[in-house]
Homo-oligomer: A and B are copies of this chain.
Amino acid sequence: MSLVVMKFGGSSVGDAERMKRVATRIVERKREGNRCVVVVSAMGDTTDDLIDLSRQIAGSTPPAREMDMLLTTGEQMSVALLAMAIRELGEEAMSFTGWQAGIRTEAVHGKARIQEIRPDRLLKALEEDQIVVVAGFQGLTEDGEITTLGRGGSDTTAVAVAAAIQADLCEIYTDVDGVYSTDPRIVKVARKLKEISYDEMLELANLGAAVLHPRAVECAKHNKVNLVVRSSFTHNEGTTVKEEAIMEQGIVVSGIAYDKNIARISILGVPERTGQLAAVFSALAKEKIDVDIIVQSGIVESQAEFSFSLSGTDVERALQVIENLRPVVGFRSVTSETGLVKVSIVGAGMVSTPGVAAKMFETISELGISINMVSTSEIKTSCVISGERLHDVIQALHTAYGLDTDSTVFVGGPSDRR
């Protein structure tokens, strides 16, 4: 008998019918002989509807404490209804809010981190053979204030609960049936990965493969929780995320990820003084503008030149921030370029295999595309390039790293994704 945590997102429980389907799935898992803890998000549009209500009353800057009070009702509704749906199918079930589940967070509203879980009530209910249904995304501070965990919060709740009750498995049910070697909407022969390591998953998640929130993956890694990403609509086997993923023969790169709508800003003719870089990036950070790759080119005649990549939506604001710094930093000029993309190869095997990055540069060059910026880590290499031929680049890399699957292993593509 295994102890399984199952997490379902908002779209899986979007209405009464879907709720019932999820309940059926859970009851199946229970009747296979498992003890089940379910973590669930707010139903479909509930959160958006609540945000809309708050806007009508408090405009675009509602007080964070009250916003948490408001939004946490969404998951509370879900858990109650899901427990009802499970009981309709003849199994015992009990719902718990975040605070009832003993989820303690730091005292920050809107994006609190889980500090501790005191799972006494959950364990007691499991002993009584209940299916335990826990509200995702929410917790309580030591002072009894209701908090939300921010983006990806329900994934994190699931993993943290799995760690606290020492579950054998934490299953994340989603609208795709696993983690793919790249976006199957672009590459028809994309391969569904059987296993992937935490670190690879982290890189993929950070790179926009939005199947699992990075914070949840970090939490899983830290607590050695075995994660499975699988579909809530099919019974296909999913992808397991674990410490030591089996490396397939000849596969050094596990996946290819991309980010669209990237921009580059270059600041030219910066006088060589200490602290100039810091001044620019502190000012950007203060405006909550995320900077990704930073490249400083050689210093010519005591003048430096540096470039950085950022989201295309932040370019105008960033340029304004930099312009405001002109009196302090004293640069010659600023240029920007939009319509770029970032393509990344990710693989735990890269660190021990020479020439992996070189093959990437080669493949891109062979397509006649120039590389604007490069960044590397132990398990990832990213290139910022023009966005025009993104699909060709991804397809070429996918083939170059031996990721194209044969027809018998083919498991999904655009039509399988709902």
A66: chain B residues at CB < 8 Å are 80-81, 83-84, 87, 95
Q: Is the pair A63, B77 in contact by a Cβ cutoff of 8 Å?
A: no
Q: Is the pair A81, B57 in contact by a Cβ cutoff of 8 Å?
A: yes
Residue A338 interfacial (CB < 8 Å): no
- Interface pick from A33-41, A68-76, A267-275: A68-76
> How many copies are assembled?
2
Which of A57, A70, A73: most chain B Cβ within 10 A? A57
CA distance A81 to B16 in the complex (A): 26
Q: Is the pair A56, B16 in contact by a Cβ cutoff of 8 Å?
A: yes
Interface residue range, chain A: 35 or more
Given contacts A53-B16, A66-B95, A144-B100, contact A58 B84 (CB under 8 A): yes
CA distance A77 to B62 in the complex (A): 14
Which secondary structure dominates chain A's binding surface?
Answer: helix
Which of A63, A72, A100: most chain B Cβ within 10 A? A63
Chain B residue at minimal CB-CB distance from A84: B58
Q: Is the pair A83, B95 in contact by a Cβ cutoff of 8 Å?
A: no
Chain B residue at minimal CB-CB distance from A58: B84
A59: chain B residues at CB < 8 Å are 88
Residue A20 interfacial (CB < 8 Å): yes
Of the residues B73, B83, B85, B144, contact of A76 by C-beta under 8 Å: B73
CA distance A20 to B53 in the complex (A): 12
Q: Is the pair A57, B121 in contact by a Cβ cutoff of 8 Å?
A: no
Residue A357 interfacial (CB < 8 Å): no
Residue A359 interfacial (CB < 8 Å): no
A88: chain B residues at CB < 8 Å are 57-59
Residue A165 interfacial (CB < 8 Å): no
Q: Is the pair A50, B69 in contact by a Cβ cutoff of 8 Å?
A: no
A84: chain B residues at CB < 8 Å are 54, 57-58, 62-63, 66, 70
Q: Is the pair B53, A81 in contact by a Cβ cutoff of 8 Å?
A: yes
Beyond contacts A19-B57, A59-B88, A66-B87: 7 other A-B pairs, Cβ-Cβ < 8 A, are: A16-B57, A63-B87, A66-B80, A66-B83, A70-B80, A70-B84, A73-B73
Give me 6 A-to-B residue pairs in the complex whose CB atoms sit less than 8 angstroms apart, sorted by A's number: A53-B81, A57-B88, A63-B84, A66-B81, A69-B80, A100-B146
